[in-house]
């Protein structure tokens, strides 16, 4: 049995853990980063191809500010690693005149100085004739937003971390059992990892690691994603002809991302699925979901109604009761922190979250009440979109 000692041990190399390790390492501290299945693995929430990065959050200024902070950090990372992990495709919000969320979003973006373009239905139909939104009367385009290559960026970040002295350990951490100050954690293969502070960024696994604390506070739900093959030779579903878009007037809350690197036009519904086990849950999409998708295509993207499904994915959201992140100290351990509850919108915020959490840990920076454990209720009532 080997024994290792660090200033910080971060458990989970998804987007939250990797960016937290990045900022902790920037302070000169020694950092271990553990993952049971590998950075941005296929079971992890960060393991997908692409994730939307948008500035708009309806009336919610906090997440607009965090997205605004994160985008330049993603861009810097892309520049220094010479990887095109950010694609400025634009993000198009589609809705109707009664949508208070979109009206507030315009106000928040205007106040924050985020560029946006308001579009009437006729203009939307003219610019994107491959789409048919009969129920949409206006839209808002964020021209400087777009998408992130999720798996590639997290894996590249972990590679960079290793180059800067972070020790990456392919290991599954056991749940800590003591109270007070935690001296070490054990891995499932019998190693002992000692650290001054432990940071659990274990995404949808958090309720399994801390069942008493989180089984009722983080709801892990099954989410299906579809990639459609566009007609041969067509550029209509790739940038620059296709932005990211979110169809807010449809009850299924569909959203789509353009075909990137030839993997297909991505489309999904932002409704919470059934409860899901991230270790053992089946990752094949249901026939009934494919039928629902075809029905949606028939109405809104007729040219793709018979398009082949070139790939599908089943991922999971790790939802808090209302969608606010959980970033707080563990109440039973003075040196254990928890960061999770990405709730289907966390990826873009990885840099801002890592920066915020490291400031709290290293410098005792004040905490945002919305991220506290105390604010986490046990009845689901989604409020952050």
**Which residues, other chains included, contact 9 with Cβ-Cβ below 8 Å and sequence gap of 6+?**
31, 32, 33, 34, 185, 193, 195, 197, 198, 199
Stated as kind and residue range, the H or E segment containing 338 is strand 336-340
Question: Which of 276, 277, 258 has its CA nearest to residue 267?
Answer: 258
124 phi, psi to nearest 5 deg = -65, -45
Among residues 14, 139, 207, 254, which is the contact residue for ligand FAD, using CB under 6 A? 14
Unique residue bearing structure tokens 């495709």: 89
CA atoms within 13 A on the CB side of 306: 1
Question: Is residue 46 near ligand FAD by the rule CB under 6 A?
Answer: yes
Q: What phi and psi values does residue 375 have, to the nearest 5 degrees?
A: -85, -5
How buried is residue 234: exposed, middle or buried, by Cβ count under 10 Å (0-12/13-18/19+)?
middle
Residue 64 near ligand FAD by CB under 6 A: no
Of 42 and 306, CB closest to ligand FAD: 42
**Contact status: 342 vs ligand FAD (CB under 6 A):** yes
Q: What angle is formed at CA 272 by the lines to CA 304 and CA 274, rounded to 5 degrees?
A: 105
Minimum separation from the CB atom of position 120 to ligand FAD (A): 26
Helix (H), strand (E) at residue 174: none
Segment interacting with ligand FAD (CB under 6 A) among 126-134, 138-146, 342-350, 363-371? 342-350
Dist CA 10 CA 19 (whole Å): 10
CB of residue 129 to ligand FAD, shortest distance in Å: 25
Min separation Cβ 313 and ligand FAD, Å = 7
Does residue 19 interact with ligand FAD by CB under 6 A?
no
* 133 touches ligand FAD by CB under 6 A: no
Q: How many residues interact with ligand FAD (rule CB under 6 A)? A: 39
Q: How far is the CB of 234 from ligand FAD (least distance, A)?
A: 24
What angle (nearest 5°) sits at the alpha carbon of residue 266, between those of residues 15 and 341? Answer: 30
Part of the chain binding ligand FAD (CB under 6 A), chosen from 35-43, 104-112, 245-253, 360-368: 35-43
Under rule CB under 6 A, residue 344 binds ligand FAD: yes
Min separation Cβ 121 and ligand FAD, Å: 25
Residues 198-227 that bind ligand FAD (CB under 6 A): 201-205, 209, 223, 225
CA distance 356 to 349: 10
Candidate ranges 5-13, 106-114, 136-144, 328-336; the one touching ligand FAD (CB under 6 A): 5-13
259 is written with which tokens?
């075909």
Is 51 a residue that touches ligand FAD (CB under 6 A)? Answer: yes
**Could you please report the per-residue DSSP string of 16-54?**
HHHHHHHHHHHTT--EEEEESS-TT-TTSGGGSSEEEE-
CB of 367 to ligand FAD, least distance (A): 18
Under the binding rule (CB under 6 A), the answer on residue 173 touching ligand FAD is yes
Residue closer to ligand FAD, measured from CB, 315 or 336: 315
Residues that bind ligand FAD (CB under 6 A): 11-17, 34-37, 41, 44-46, 48, 51-52, 172-173, 201-205, 209, 223, 225, 268, 315-317, 340, 342, 344-348
């Amino acid at each position: 049995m080997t024994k290792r000692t660090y200033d910080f041990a971060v458990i989970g190399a998804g987007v939250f853990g990797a960016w937290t390790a990045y900022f902790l390492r920037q302070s000169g501290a020694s950092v271990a980063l553990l993952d049971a299945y590998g950075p941005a693995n296929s079971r992890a929430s960060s393991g997908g191809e692409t994730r939307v990065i948008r500035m708009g959050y309806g009336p919610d200024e906090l997440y607009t500010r965090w997205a605004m902070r994160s985008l330049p950090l993603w861009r810097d990372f892309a520049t220094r690693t010479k990887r095109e992990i950010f694609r400025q495709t634009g993000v198009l919000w589609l809705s109707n005149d009664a949508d208070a969320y979109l009206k507030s979003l315009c106000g928040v973006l205007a106040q924050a100085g985020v560029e946006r373009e308001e579009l009437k239905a006729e203009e939307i139909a003219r610019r994107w004739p491959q789409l048919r939104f009969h129920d949409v009367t206006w839209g808002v385009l964020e021209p400087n937003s777009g998408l992130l290559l999720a798996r590639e960026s997290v894996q590249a970040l972990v590679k960079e971390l290793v180059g800067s002295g972070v020790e990456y350990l392919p290991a599954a951490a056991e749940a800590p059992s003591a109270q007070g100050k935690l001296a070490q954690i054990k891995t499932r293969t019998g190693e002992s990892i000692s650290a001054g502070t432990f940071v659990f960024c274990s995404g949808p696994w958090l309720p399994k690691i801390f069942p008493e604390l989180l089984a009722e506070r983080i709801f892990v739900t099954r989410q299906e994603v579809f990639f459609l093959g566009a007609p041969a030779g067509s550029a209509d579903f790739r940038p620059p002809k296709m932005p990211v878009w979110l169809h807010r007037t449809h009850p299924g809350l569909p959203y789509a991302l353009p075909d990137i690197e030839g993997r297909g036009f991505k489309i999904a519904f932002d409704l919470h699925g059934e409860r899901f086990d991230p270790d053992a849950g089946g990752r094949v999409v249901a026939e009934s979901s494919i039928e629902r998708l075809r029905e949606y295509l028939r109405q809104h993207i007729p040219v793709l109604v018979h398009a082949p499904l070139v790939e599908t994915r089943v991922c999971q959201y790790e939802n808090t009761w209302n969608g606010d992140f959980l970033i707080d100290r563990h109440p039973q351990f003075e040196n254990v922190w928890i960061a999770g509850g990405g709730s289907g919108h966390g990826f873009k915020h990885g840099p801002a979250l890592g920066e915020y959490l490291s400031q709290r840990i290293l410098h005792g920076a004040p905490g945002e009440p919305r991220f506290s454990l105390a604010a986490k209720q046990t009845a689901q009532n989604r409020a952050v979109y």
